[in-house]
Structure 1
Amino acid sequence: MKEQIVCKTTDLEPGQMMASDFGEKNVLICRTLDGEFYAFLNQCTHQGARLEKGMICGATTDQSKPGDYHYCRRGEIIRCPWHGREFDIKNEGRMLASPKQKLVNFQVRVEDENVIVYK
């Protein structure tokens, strides 16, 4: 099993993300609002955009109507900067519009103040 420290817990506030190297791969480290850490390949499944240039946001609910948006799951969705595809951080990086598609994800654990990614 390969593992590596990719950042310190203090490098990311809840709701933030950052890119880091994991061996020869570039990974996206995300910290959700509840303080949990997640890691994905820093590449959109569509055309390969670097997801670090996107944003962490929420999703609209089924109750939303045109011009009247109701949001949920704030801080749990990665939005691609190129075409707006959205990926569920807490559900293995599955795309919201097509859950069979998902980002390559990595295991994460925190020891002391180190965020460690492993595969």
Structure 2
Amino acid sequence: MKEQIVCKTSDLEPGQMKASLFGKQSVVICRTLDGEFYAFLNQCTHQGAPLDKGMICGATTEESQPGEYHYCRKGEIIRCPWHGREFDIKNEGRMLANPNKKLPNYNVKIENDHVIIYK
């Protein structure tokens, strides 16, 4: 099992993300508003956009009508910077519009203020 320190917990506030390297792979480390850390390949499944250039946001609820937006899950969604594809951070990086597609993800553990990812 390969593992690597990718950042310190203090490098990311809740609701932030940053790019790092895991070996030669670019990964995006996300910290949700509840303080949990997640890691994904830093590449959108659509056309390869660097996800760290996007944003962490929320989603609209199914009750939203045209022209009206009801938000939920603030700080749990990664939005691609190129075409707006949205991925659920807490649900294995699954795409909101098509849950059968997901971002390649990494296991994460915290040791002594270090964020460590592994496969």
- Which stretches of structure 1, 4 residues or longer, exceed 3 Å deviation after superposition? none
Q: Structure 1 counterpart of 2:45, which letter?
A: T
- Map Cα deviations across residues 50-89 of structure 1 (whole Å, 9 max, x no partner): 0000000000001111121000000000000000000000
SS at match of 1:90: coil
Does residue 73 (structure 1) correspond to residue 73 (structure 2)? The answer is yes
What root-mean-square deviation, in Å, do the aligned CA atoms of Structure 1 and Structure 2 show? 0.4
Structure 2 CA distance, aligned partners of 1:94 and 1:62?
Answer: 17
Partner of 1:32: 32
- What's the counterpart of residue 48 of structure 2? 48
User: In the alignment, which residue of structure 2 is the partner of 1:8?
Assistant: 8
Could you tell me which amino acid in structure 1 is paired with residue 19 of structure 2? A
The corresponding residue for 1:64 is 64
Report the alpha carbon displacement of residue 27 of structure 1 after superposing the two structures with TM: 0.3
Q: TM-score, normalised by structure 1?
A: 0.99
Separation (CA, whole Å) in 1 of partners of 2:116 and 2:4: 5
- In the alignment, the residues of structure 1 paired with residue 65 and residue 53 of structure 2 have an alpha-carbon distance, to the nearest angstrom, of 28
> What is the alpha-carbon distance in structure 2 between the residues aligned to residue 76 and residue 11 of structure 1?
18
Identity of matched residues, %: 78
What is the number of residues matched between the two proteins? Answer: 119
Residue 98 of structure 2 aligns to a residue in which SS? coil
Inter-partner Cα distance in structure 1 for 2:62 and 2:47: 28
Q: State the alpha-carbon separation in 1 of the partners of residues 16 and 43 from structure 2.
A: 17
TM-score using structure 2 length: 0.99
Q: For structure 2, list consecutive stretches of 5 or more residues without a partner in the other structure.
A: none
Name the aligned partner's letter for residue 26 of structure 1: S
